[in-house]
Amino acid sequence: MPALGLGLGIQYGGVYNAFTDVAIPSGFLVTPPFAIQTNGSQYRVDPDFDLETYANISVSKTYYVDSVNGSDSNTGLSWIQAFKTLTKVQSQGDCDLCNIKAGSYFFKNQRPGSFSRSMKIIAESGGAYITSDVTNQAGAWTNTTNYWQSVFGDFPSIALDYSNLDSNGNPIQLTAVASIALVNSTPNSIYVAYPNVYVRTFDSRQPDSNLKFYDSTSLSPTRDNIKYYYENIEFQRGFNLNNSTSAGGLKCYFKNCTIPSFVAMGVSEMILQNCDSWAATGDCFNYDLRNTIPTIAYEIDCDLQNRATAGNDQASTIHNGCTIVRVGGTYHDISGQCCADVVGGQAWMLGCELYNSRVANTGYYADTNQTWLDGVYIHDVNTGINCETGTTVYYRNLRNLATTPTTGGGTFTPY
């Protein structure tokens, strides 16, 4: 549940000193909206920085939502009169702040794809879930030989069996097959001829609460000139955040959230504070260009791992001229490089820890961009930094304990 963000930076010796502001490196083209501070071995964002305040979303109408005890027949204007679903909030058209009761769980048909106005969505301490879960749209299950069949009200893209976990604790996905005959003969399989769905679990049991069916995304706003602020939310399944046109202006802020994975494209500003990602496949956080607008991103005290057993994915990666600042986060247990910044753009990392890259066995990969590493700690990988030709990596206070600290034809230089 939200959130496991560490907020401690990295400390490995030295004497404790008062925190002082870190100067923006010469040549780094973006000014962060907060001061970054160090005491010599730790790094932090100025504790006076408040992300919700910075988001600056005006509130004139507030609604309350409780998926357990609420009702969409209520007014939604108090906890006693709370709505049951987020789709009901969206239908009001005037919400600026949505307060969610802790423990609330929203299936796909109970949450909107995106809101059409700037707003804050804040769950109580303890968190709430926004999902792409369509399990509640399954009809009764009937048994035929080895498989079970049901009719769904929405298309299930994947099925995950939480009774069947891989070595990293991830629920194993049922394998999609092409016929009823194949699902009958293949344990841990699914065949979808929508609206009919046929499944055979690894143990051929009747589908129960441990077998979950999901659509592909739990959030997919495509907007211009909109701001979203989320707090204490666990998203189940990844999501996409996209500016709609070259006008841009989409700004997204997440605090104390758990996010399986996302792609942010053309987002004018994105800040994640004390957020976690445990994506089983794919990159955790991926930033890219859209409609000529590169994403500018900030990760503060985030803990990212993708738990993948194969593939070549990253915990955090920028592409095509995007810019990122990472402060005090941990990036670990990744199938590919822990972090990879490629195809132009700039990255500044302070007090981050990178370790345990399983397949690429590389802590940090840089290609045709500029990177500044300040107090970064790299360990338990074969290659610490792979710097490709045409790339410059500037560093100071670097603790690189990789078997091969650096490789590639790029430039390494202290600053």
Alpha-carbon distances, residue 333 vs 264, 303, 306, 407 (angstroms): 22, 11, 7, 21
Has domain 51-132+218-414 been given CATH number 2.160.20? yes
Domain boundaries, the chain: 51-132+218-414, 135-214
**Residue 81 exposed, middle or buried by CB count within 10 Å (0-12, 13-18, 19+):** middle
- What phi and psi values does residue 387 have, to the nearest 5 degrees? -110, 110
Cα distance between residue 164 and residue 203, in whole Å: 9
Backbone torsion region of residue 249, taken as left when φ is above 0, otherwise alpha when ψ lies between -120 and 50, otherwise beta: left
Q: Give yes or no for a contact between 40 and 17, defined as CB atoms under 8 angstroms apart.
A: yes
AA identity, residue 293: I
Q: Which two tokens stand for residue 207?
A: 């589908």
* pLDDT tens digits, one per residue of 347-403: 999 999 999 998 889 999 999 889 999 999 999 999 999 999 999 999 999 999 999
AA identity, residue 316: S
Cα distance between residue 287 and residue 149, in whole Å: 39
| Sign for the pseudo-dihedral over CA of 108, 109, 113, 118 | negative
Helix, strand, coil percentages (3-state) for the chain, rounded to 5, are 5, 40, 50
3-state class (DSSP) for residue 287? strand
211-214 vs 97-100, strand pairing mode = unpaired
CA 312 to chain CA centroid, Å, is 17
Q: What is the DSSP track for 124-162?
A: PTT-EEEE-B-GGGB---EEETTEEEEEBSS---EEEEE
| Sign for the pseudo-dihedral over CA of 67, 73, 76, 78 | negative
Alpha-carbon distances, residue 187 vs 81, 102, 134, 173, 195 (angstroms): 46, 37, 22, 12, 21
Q: Over its length of 415 residues, how does the chain's per-residue pLDDT go in tens digits?
A: 444 333 344 444 444 569 999 999 999 999 999 999 999 889 999 999 999 999 999 999 999 999 999 999 999 999 999 999 999 999 999 999 999 999 999 999 998 867 889 999 999 999 999 999 999 999 999 999 999 999 999 999 999 999 999 877 778 999 999 999 999 999 999 999 999 999 999 999 999 999 999 987 888 889 999 999 999 999 988 889 999 999 999 999 999 999 988 899 999 999 999 999 977 678 899 999 999 999 999 999 999 987 666 678 999 999 999 999 999 999 999 889 999 999 999 999 999 999 999 888 999 999 988 999 999 999 999 999 999 999 999 999 999 999 999 999 999 999 9
Q: Which residues contact 116 (CB under 8 A, 6 or more apart)?
A: 93, 223, 226
Reply yes or no: is the peptide bond before residue 102 cis, omega within 30 of 0.
no
